[in-house]
Amino acid sequence: MFSSLLNEKSQFWNVDVYNIYDNIFPDKINNYNAFIITGSAFGVYENHSWIGELFKVIKKIVNLKIPLLGICFGHQAIAQALGGHVVKSSKGWGIGIKEITTKKSNSLLGNFNKLNLIFFHQDQVVKLPQNAELIAGNSFCNISSFSIGDSVLALQAHPEFNKDFSLKLLNARKSSVEPATYLEAINELETLEHDGELITPNIINFLEQKS
């Protein structure tokens, strides 16, 4: 899905994929121009050896100021690794196409006042890491996006998801979702448009900083 989202440029990129949940990480961080940490079914607070290793790698990437994009789990992992805090929200699932309001004009996401994006999460960042700047949020998910300098961009939403995939994922998870939340999400995904492609050029520009 990221290949599809970033297709405008990714055909010219050399992309390596690491299944970090199998404890497979890049050997030489400096060999890369940018990193993406994607979504995951795992929680960043879970006691897995690979999550601890991921936190170490995140700190190395940030110290080297290599552009680092975190999406959903990646957003949460960056926050947790750098001193923020992530919890399983008492509010339950955040699913569907949700509007977020930007707290900072002309951020790394672009110069937008509001964005409608696809969300699919239970966990939330509830405390920002040191030196992080809040980009956007809403009443359900206060910290929906943040940045650190020009080299870290984190986003709880899924710009790479399309509506068809999201509906299939929602139906696969139906048994764990509150009925009212499920119906609201179905309605949003069937009737609303989302801005994933709108912010894609800015995500590409962010990832290409060091190329």
Give the chain's domains with CATH numbers. Answer: 2-207 (3.40.50.880)
pLDDT reported for residue 10: 66
Tokens standing for residue 66: 């290599």
pLDDT reported for residue 104: 78
Set 75, 160, 188, 194: catalytic member: 160
Set 72, 121, 188, 194: catalytic member: 72
pLDDT reported for residue 99: 97
pLDDT reported for residue 14: 83
Answer yes or no: 160 catalytic.
yes
Answer yes or no: 194 catalytic.
no
pLDDT reported for residue 211: 59
Evaluate if pTM is beyond 0.85.
Answer: yes
pLDDT reported for residue 12: 79
Under-50 pLDDT residues of the chain? none
Set 75, 121, 158, 194: catalytic member: 158
pLDDT reported for residue 183: 97
Answer yes or no: 141 catalytic.
no
The C-alpha angle 94, 184, 134, rounded to 5 degrees, equals 30
